[in-house]
Structure 1
Amino acid sequence: MNETSAALFGSAVPFLGTYTPRLDDKGRLILPAKFRGQLAPGLVMTRGQERCLFLLPIDEFRRMHDQLRQAPVTSKQARDYLRVFLSGASDELPDKQGRISIPPMLRRYAGLDRDVAVIGAGTRVEIWDLQAWESYLEEQESGYADTTEEVFPNGPF
């Protein structure tokens, strides 16, 4: 965490920005330097929506898991979500170089080969195939301005 981030956000600094590292031949990823401090104590990697991967700091994973546990077991939708979310989860500890290994099953799910986009998404980090991310972003940009009033009913600016 740099001084500017600490001044703006305190200890709960959101993950911000887009980075384009490459996976090595063993399926390892060097985490962006800005994300390493928050992920150094450990993280949970799992399937995200739109065929990306979520990297969740341990505290955020616990918070999400606690919410999932409150869903009624009688809800098929809740059971399905829980199964998909947790069955692909892998707890990881970055090495001294800030690298994590992405399990083959998760690389296949997200279509990761070599070039990836690592994006800050607030409380989590997402890993995308770079081409898939660029296509997604291009598709979403046209609607971005149109949704401002839905996301910020009182106006953000």
Structure 2
Amino acid sequence: MVITWRIGVKCMFMGEFQHNIDAKGRLIVPAKLRDDLGDKFVVTKGMDGCLFGYPMDEWTRFAEKTKELPLSRAQARQFTRHFFASASESELDKQGRINVPQSLREYAGLEKNCVIVGVDTRIEIWDATRWDEINQVAEESFDEIAENMTEFGF
């Protein structure tokens, strides 16, 4: 089940949904995510081998934050390049699908079975096998992960 909530002007995506990507790279975006993503949104390389999808207003907020990174630091430049060089503006077609560019499909290993996950202000698009693997590791160490969240004031 996929649910989105609107909090002020921000939306919160959550849940998990499975879909297949076709040979042309078209992927159905779950209906419950479409309204908050909007007609146009950005898909880019994410972390851990998935893709991130941002509504345009969230992408703009993210872009503004990257301007605060020091250009003189190599890691800051690499971080910014990772997201911006691969970013692609996406539009939903009449069937609620997006066309995922070949370079992004290769990066995330998207061939057929995909999982779309709502994660706060973004969606993530995963190859189903990779999602199962990373989710299994997280579940096995979740108690330790949760304990370490105190370092972030959680």
Q: Is the aligned partner of 1:94 residue 2:92?
A: yes
- Whether the 8 Å CA contact 2:5–2:13 is kept in 1: the answer is no
User: Structure 1, unaligned stretches of length 5 or more?
Assistant: none
SS in 2 for 1:51: coil
RMSD: 1.9
- After superposition, residues 5-154 of structure 1 pair within 5 angstroms as 5=5, 9=7, 12-151=10-149
- Whether the 8 Å CA contact 1:40–1:98 is kept in 2: the answer is no
Q: TM-score, normalised by structure 1?
A: 0.88
Identical-pair percentage: 38
- Whether the 8 Å CA contact 1:39–1:94 is kept in 2: the answer is no
Q: Deviations over 1:99-131 (max 9, x none)?
A: 100000000000000000100111100001000
Q: TM-score, normalised by structure 2?
A: 0.89
Q: What is the CA distance between 1:145 and its match in structure 2? A: 2.1
C-alpha separation between the residues in 1 aligned to 2:12 and 2:85? 26
Q: What is the CA distance between 1:150 and its match in structure 2? A: 3.0
Q: Which residue identity lines up with residue 38 of structure 1 in the other structure? A: D
- Whether the 8 Å CA contact 1:44–1:91 is kept in 2: the answer is yes
Q: Which residue identity lines up with residue 31 of structure 2 in the other structure? A: A
User: Structure 2, unaligned stretches of length 5 or more?
Assistant: none
Q: What is the CA distance between 1:93 and its match in structure 2? A: 1.3
Aligned residues: 150
Q: Which residue identity lines up with residue 40 of structure 2 in the other structure? A: G
**Radius of gyration: which is bigger?**
1
Q: Which residue identity lines up with residue 71 of structure 1 in the other structure? A: L
